[in-house]
Structure 1
Amino acid sequence: MSTITSIHVAPGRRLPMKSVDAVLAEAGRGLVGDRYHGAKHRHVTLQSAEALALAGEDLGRAVPPEGTRRNVTVDVGEVPTAPGTRVRIGDCLLEVVRVAAPCRLLDDNLGPGAAAALRRRAGTVFRVLESGTLHVGDQVDWSPTDQEDAR
C-alpha cells in the first residue's frame, strides 16, 4: 500500500506550486485551487517518490516533487498508466486518463536533462469520479474492488 507524502497545487499556469496538507477533489472538476480545476479530464496528477529518486539518479541531483508540477506524490509503488484503471484514495475515486508526459519546461526548472530523466517516470493524469478530500498521509488503494468499479 502506498501513502500520500505531498500534495501541491498551483493557482495558474507557470505560477509556483504550493504545498498543502489537504485539498478537495471535486468529481468532474478536479482539485479546488489548482490551475486545472474545471478542466474536462485533467483533474489530478499522481507520481511516485520512488520514480523521482530513480530520475534523480539519472540526472545527478534530487528531483523535488513540486519540481515536476504534479499534484500528488506517493511514497512507493508504480502509478498505473492504463486508461480506465481506477484508484481509491479515501473517499475519492480516480480514473486514469493518460500518462503525464514530461514537459520541456522541466529542463528550464530543474536543469538540463530533467525531461529525459523523467521520461516514463513523470506520473499519470487522472479524472475525479467521486469527490472527497485528499490528505497527506492518506493510503492509496491501487485496486478498488469490482463493486467500486461498477459505480
Structure 2
Amino acid sequence: MIVTALHVAPVRHAPMVAVDRIDVEAGRGVVGDRWFGTRHRHVSLQSDEDLAAAAAELGRAVPPEATRRTVTVDEGAVPTAPGVRLRVGDVLLEVVRVAAPCRVMETSMGPGGAAALRRRGGSILRALSSGPVRLGDPVDPVDPVDPVDPGPDLRRS
C-alpha cells in the first residue's frame, strides 16, 4: 500500500484540506487537525479501493476528502482489528477501531453516503511514534511478534 491522499480539517465540520505532508505526534495525533490531542482518534485511514466500491454503489464519485479521513492508501483492505500495527512512512500506528460512517457524510458525499461506506469506512488509529507522513509513503504491517515499546505514556495498563 502507498499513501495517495492526505487531508486535515482545523476544526469540526470545516472543509478538509488536501496536503502533501502531515506531522504526527505520538499520543496526540496529526498536528493541525481537529482531532489533535484526543485520546485515541489520532489518524484515520481508508483505501481508494473502498472509495471506488462506494462510488459504484452510489453511482457518483467519492473523493477522499468527502469521507473526512486523514490518510488514503491506493489499494488493499484497511485493517480494522484493534491492536493491528502499521508503519506509515516512519510513523508507527495502531488500529483502535473501525471508522464508522457518520451523518456528516450525508452532507459531504450526498444522500446515501454513510450507507455506501458501511463496512468500507476504514480505521481509526492511535499514533505510537512521531514523524512525518508524505504522499507516496509506503504503508506496511508491523509483525506483532516484534517487540515495540511505544513508551510509558502509551503502554496499555
Counterpart residue number, 1:26? 25
For the residues of structure 2 that align with 1:60 and 1:111, how far apart are their CA atoms?
11
Does structure 1 retain, via aligned residues, the 8 Å contact 2:94–2:127? yes
Counterpart residue number, 2:155? none
TM-score calculated relative to the size of structure 2: 0.92
Counterpart residue number, 2:5? 6
Aligned to 1:130, what secondary structure does the other structure show? coil
Aligned to 2:2, what secondary structure does the other structure show? strand
Q: CA deviation at 1:130?
A: 0.8
Aligned to 1:54, what secondary structure does the other structure show? helix
Given the alignment of the two structures, is residue 77 of structure 1 paired with residue 76 of structure 2, yes or no? yes
Counterparts in 2 of 1:46 and 1:148: CA distance versus 1, 3 Å: farther
Identical-residue share of aligned pairs (%): 59
Q: CA deviation at 1:107?
A: 1.2
Paired letter, 2:29: G
Counterparts in 2 of 1:79 and 1:148: CA distance versus 1, 3 Å: farther
Paired letter, 1:35: R
Does structure 2 retain, via aligned residues, the 8 Å contact 1:88–1:144? no
Counterpart residue number, 1:104? 103
- In the alignment, structure 1 segments of 5+ residues that lack a partner are none
How many residue pairs get aligned? The number is 150
TM-score calculated relative to the size of structure 1: 0.95
For the residues of structure 2 that align with 1:60 and 1:75, how far apart are their CA atoms?
21
Paired letter, 1:33: G
Does structure 2 retain, via aligned residues, the 8 Å contact 1:86–1:149? no
Q: CA deviation at 1:90?
A: 1.9
Q: CA deviation at 1:145?
A: 6.0
Q: CA deviation at 1:36?
A: 0.4
Paired letter, 1:34: D
Paired letter, 2:96: V
Aligned to 1:34, what secondary structure does the other structure show? coil
Given the alignment of the two structures, is residue 130 of structure 1 paired with residue 126 of structure 2, yes or no? no
- 4+ long deviations beyond 2 Å: 142-151
For the residues of structure 1 that align with 2:129 and 2:146, how far apart are their CA atoms?
14
Does structure 1 retain, via aligned residues, the 8 Å contact 2:84–2:144? no
For the residues of structure 2 that align with 1:142 and 1:60, how far apart are their CA atoms?
33
- In the alignment, structure 2 segments of 5+ residues that lack a partner are 151-157
Root-mean-square deviation (Å): 1.2
